[in-house]
């Protein structure tokens, strides 16, 4: 397959400088868009949405720690061994992160957000408004119990 080249549209400014697994719920960050590529017109209308979907590059994950096989999530032997595509660990083949976070404020090219699980300096690749019609009915979504346990403190 041919390589894909992406240019960041901005960077995350966050009080968190380490990629720890939990307690992202109260983290307030700012996504600063690249002013050489964008103007405030690029975010026109975004304030009409309460949440945004952010795609970012997990750039601090070393190449040699990327996995493509199965493992116990968080190395917890109480949880089943599952493949990389059945979990959300940061050591992914393309090191992409995707988060839905609350949009608190738009100030020019600075987007103030809550609960974005990206650390200081993380390159942002795309931003989309969160639209509930794109999501399945929550009553129809199923997931294994181990994932519910794993996520218990993620956003607390």
Q: What are the boundaries of each domain within the chain?
A: 1-59+95-131, 61-90
Angle at 79 between CA 76 and CA 82, to 5 degrees: 100
Say which residues have a Cβ less than 8 Å from residue 143's Cβ, sequence separation at least 6. Answer: none
Angle at 104 between CA 41 and CA 156, to 5 degrees: 145
28-33 and 10-13 strand pairing: antiparallel
3-state helix, strand, coil in the chain (%, to 5): 20, 30, 55
pLDDT (tens place) for every residue of the chain, 156 residues total: 999 999 999 999 999 999 888 889 999 999 999 999 999 999 999 999 999 999 999 999 999 999 999 999 999 999 999 999 999 999 999 999 999 999 999 999 999 999 999 999 999 999 999 999 999 998 899 999 999 998 999 998
Residue 101 is predicted with a pLDDT of 98
Q: Model pTM?
A: 0.93
Neighbours of 150 (CB within 10 A): 19
CATH number of 1-59+95-131: 2.40.30.70
51-57 and 96-107 strand pairing: antiparallel
Residue 27 is predicted with a pLDDT of 94
Residue 22 is predicted with a pLDDT of 86
Q: What is the distance between the alpha carbons of residues 51 and 26, in angstroms, rounded to a whole number?
A: 15
Residue 20 is predicted with a pLDDT of 85
Residue 96 is predicted with a pLDDT of 97
């Amino acid at each position: 397959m041919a390589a894909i080249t992406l240019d960041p549209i901005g960077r995350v400014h966050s009080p968190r400088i380490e990629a720890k697994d939990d307690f992202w719920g109260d983290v307030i960050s700012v996504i600063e868009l690249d002013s050489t590529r964008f103007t405030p017109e690029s975010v026109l209308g975004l304030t009409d949405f309460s949440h945004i979907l952010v795609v970012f590059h997990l750039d601090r994950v070393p190449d040699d720690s990327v996995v493509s096989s199965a493992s116990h999530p968080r190395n917890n032997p109480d949880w089943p061994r599952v493949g990389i595509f059945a979990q959300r660990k940061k050591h992914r083949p393309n090191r992409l992160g995707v988060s839905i976070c609350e949009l608190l404020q738009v100030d020019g090219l600075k987007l103030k957000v809550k609960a974005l699980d990206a650390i200081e300096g993380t390159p942002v690749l795309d931003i989309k408004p969160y639209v509930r019609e794109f999501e399945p009915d929550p009553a129809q979504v199923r997931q294994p119990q181990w994932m519910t346990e794993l996520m218990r403190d993620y956003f607390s």
